[in-house]
């Protein structure tokens, strides 16, 4: 894992998104996306909008697309539930593309205890994330949304590939972010 | 005052605007009252019209964006009022047709007989807020709404019930997206 370089990784990710043409960012934060968010918050007010809820973020992103932008919506995977209606009846229905970047809290659900587990009673993550941690991929599967697990080694190539897929299909696509990439040093 | 007449008058008063109509009867009334290429009609995603309008307004700051919304929609997406107030786009104008009912599903009561949406908008930071209850106050309200920079909010109290002869949007969702984006980025 990237360790000391994880702060730079957030900048690398946002840089890769911007180089791939993404020019409008909104969403609801997650601790797993902390160093990414530091970059978002440094952006001008018309480039990053702090949303109050994930479905509203998707609505804002759809509006930005209508206005000529290429949007990204970032969120914790706990926001996927409230996102389903917007993705189904707005983005998928209207052919409005968006890149969803979702963190993966609760990876592993209640099972298996990976190295470095910090959750209560040795579980993988805090209890509120067990359910979503187990089903995160399933939300994208239900909507037939292409997704990748972000790989720090091939991050730039993945971003370019997902941007290309999004533009080819004019449908929403997703990047899932595992724990440990963008959490910074504390 | 009938909701259709209020929708029609509102659209007539802002002919050079990009218009986002919420889902349900209001969108169909916007279509019937006088469709234009800059009109975007939500057919799903209840509650997200104001979020879409916010994204569009931020993406196209030189163009006036009018959101034609309903009380059920504003209540469902209430958090977006806070986002609009915080982002404070000067080109966003928000009209809420308030019949205190879910008019598209059989006039079941909403809660706006007790909750004053114009006061919420003002508290969220909309810079001008007005209320209309009849044709004369609608004219004055539209003057206030459009009489300066936004974000501005106009609450229009209307009768329950639907007028006869309201059509359905005859464009596909993708066509709506394409023409709205073309118009917004022209």
Other C-beta atoms lying within 10 Å of the C-beta of residue B113: 11
Residues B15-57: pLDDT tens digits?
999 999 999 999 999 999 999 999 999 999 999 999 999 999 9
Task: Tell me the fold of A3-114+128-147.
Answer: Rossmann fold (3.40.50)
Domain with B157, as residue range(s), is 3-184
Peptide bond into A164 cis (omega under 30): no
| Number of domains present in the structure of chain B | 1
Q: Output the pTM of the full model.
A: 0.94
User: With a CB-CB cutoff of 8 Å, which residues 136-165 of chain B face chain A?
Assistant: none
Neighbour-count burial for A55-67, b at 16+ CB within 10 Å, e otherwise: bbbbbbbbbbbbb
- So what's the pLDDT on residue A117? 58
Give the gap in angstroms from C-alpha A169 to the nearest C-alpha of chain B. 12
- Tokens standing for B26? 């209001």
Other C-beta atoms lying within 10 Å of the C-beta of residue B139: 12
User: With a CB-CB cutoff of 8 Å, which residues 133-162 of chain A face chain B?
Assistant: none
The DSSP string of B76-127 is: HTHHHHHHHHHH--TTEEEEEEE-SEETTTT-EE-STTTS-HHHHHHHHT-S
CATH of the domain at B45: 3.40.50.970
- Select the residue from A94, A143, A170 to test the B interface by mutation, using most B Cβ atoms within 10 A: A94
Give the gap in angstroms from C-alpha A88 to the nearest C-alpha of chain B. 8
Question: Residue B122 class from Cβ within 10 Å (0-12 exposed, 13-18 middle, 19+ buried)?
Answer: middle
Contact between A66 and B174 using a beta-carbon 8 Å cutoff: no
CB A6 within 8 A of CB A34: no
- Tokens standing for B53? 């309008």
**DSSP H helical segments within A74-125, as ranges?**
80-86, 93-94
**Strand runs labelled E in B22-64:** 39-41
Indicate whether this complex's ipTM tops 0.95. Answer: yes
User: With a CB-CB cutoff of 8 Å, which residues 59-98 of chain A face chain B?
Assistant: 59-69, 71, 85-86, 88-90, 93-96
Q: Which residues of B touch A26 (CB under 8 A)?
A: 55
Residues B98-145: pLDDT tens digits?
999 999 999 999 999 999 999 999 999 999 999 999 999 999 999 999
């Amino acid at each position: 894992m990237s360790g000391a370089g994880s702060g730079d990784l957030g900048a690398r990710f946002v840089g890769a998104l911007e180089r791939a043409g993404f020019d409008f960012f909104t969403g609801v934060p997650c601790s797993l996306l902390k160093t990414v968010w530091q970059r978002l918050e440094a952006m001008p007010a018309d480039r990053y909008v702090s949303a109050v809820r994930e479905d509203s973020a998707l609505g804002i992103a759809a509006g930005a697309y209508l206005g000529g932008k290429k949007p990204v919506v970032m969120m914790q995977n706990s926001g996927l539930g409230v996102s389903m209606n917007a993705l189904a009846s707005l983005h998928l229905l209207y052919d409005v593309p968006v890149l969803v970047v979702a963190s993966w809290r609760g990876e592993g659900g209640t099972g298996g205890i990976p190295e470095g587990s910090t959750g209560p009673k040795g579980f993988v993550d805090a209890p509120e994330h067990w359910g979503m941690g187990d089903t995160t991929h399933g939300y994208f599967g239900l909507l037939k949304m292409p997704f990748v697990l972000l790989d720090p080694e091939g991050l730039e190539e993945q971003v370019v590939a997902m941007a290309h897929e999004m533009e080819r299909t004019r449908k929403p696509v997703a990047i899932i972010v595992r724990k440990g990439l963008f959490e910074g040093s504390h | 005052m009938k909701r259709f007449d209020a929708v029609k008058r509102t659209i007539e008063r802002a002919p050079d605007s990009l218009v986002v109509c919420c889902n349900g009867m209001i969108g169909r009334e916007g279509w019937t009252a006088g469709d234009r290429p800059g009109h975007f009609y939500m057919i799903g995603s209840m509650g997200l019209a104001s979020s879409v309008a916010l994204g569009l307004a931020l993406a196209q700051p030189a163009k006036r964006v009018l959101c034609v919304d309903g009380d059920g929609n504003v209540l469902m997406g209430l958090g977006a009022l806070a986002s609009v107030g915080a982002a404070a786009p000067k080109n966003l104008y928000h009209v809420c047709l308030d019949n205190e009912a879910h008019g598209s599903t059989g006039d079941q009561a909403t809660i706006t007989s007790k909750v004053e949406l114009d006061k919420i908008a003002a508290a969220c930071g909309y810079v001008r807020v007005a209320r209309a209850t009849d044709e004369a106050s609608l004219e004055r309200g539209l003057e206030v709404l459009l009489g300066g920079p936004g974000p501005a909010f106009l609450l229009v109290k209307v009768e329950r019930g639907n007028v006869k002869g309201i059509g359905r949007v005859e464009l596909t969702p993708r066509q709506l997206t394409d023409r709205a984006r073309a118009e917004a980025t022209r």
